[in-house]
Structure 1
Amino acid sequence: MELISSAERNQLIERFAHDAFHLELRDDYTVPHEESPFTSWQRGEPNDLSWFGTWGQLVRRVVAAGCAVRRVRVVSEPHSPYIQWEHAVTAENLKAGEDIRWLPRHQVPSDIGFPLGGNDWWLLGDHLLAVGHFGEDGRVLGSEVVEEPATVAECVRVRNLLWDIAIPHTEYKFLIPR
């Protein structure tokens, strides 16, 4: 399996002028012992959003060109610390032009299966997938490009079903563990 980098995946997003949809299924995207904005936030430090600049610029560009950038985050409740941090910084995604919705894992209908082995994926247009792959330590390995029509069609179906039932960020009641 050939993997492309995050930068190459972002180039694909720029090429699809009408819709870029991301399905997130993991409750934790951290890499052990890695210094990151998340680990700084865990220590109670203010959010350093410098990491967001490149992504925010990309989203603003494609949204200005007429592309919808959407994502559904399927999350467990109570929320993991990583999901708490993601929720805390989602305002930046929204300001850039993304539309983000949340779906508690227990509300996913039992007849919906997650294609592609339960990996996260980007559906670009309605005909190309960039499937995320992670190492055992959680590190991003890259994205696999998938164009097989039946797989793409199943992801379009799942996207449409999940988008319709997911809760917009501004309406999602975030549960903070006590």
Structure 2
Amino acid sequence: MTLANALEIVVADYSDPRHAADVVALLDAYARDPMGGGAPLTEDVKARLPEDLAANPHAFSLLARLDGESVGLANCFMGYSTFAAAPLVNIHDFAVIAGRRSAGIGRALLAAVEAEALKRGATKVTLEVLSGNHPARRLYAANGYGDYQLDPQAGQALFWQKRLT
């Protein structure tokens, strides 16, 4: 059986207990990974996440399942591109569990995000990636993603944050 025959990608239904549990479990696995910060999600976050995502009309998640086992996750949020006057999709979390990487799951999950973004009328898909996450950067570049810039003279966009809590 090929990966294409065994892989299923679905839009998560946060009210479905299995989907909700898979979103939490995959995000927790990602959070524990060095590229996700290396620390588990708190019990409070695990308890609130599915309901909070369900309450956010701009949120959607895709689950990748291989032979019935959830092995990949893309948590996405609709945004808006003022320069294009059109919606956009930001991939906020993107993960394939350890042991299942480099098998084409990430590529298929990206394609599914792009297809869902097009269904929702998005003009582009954005994401953030750590500069030291070379496997993810290779995957994204191979699928057409790259640094954001308006004018090369002005430089590349940087993703900054300020924690409020």
What's the TM-score once normalised by structure 2's chain length?
0.34
What's the TM-score once normalised by structure 1's chain length?
0.32
* More RCO (CA 8 Å, sep 6+): 1
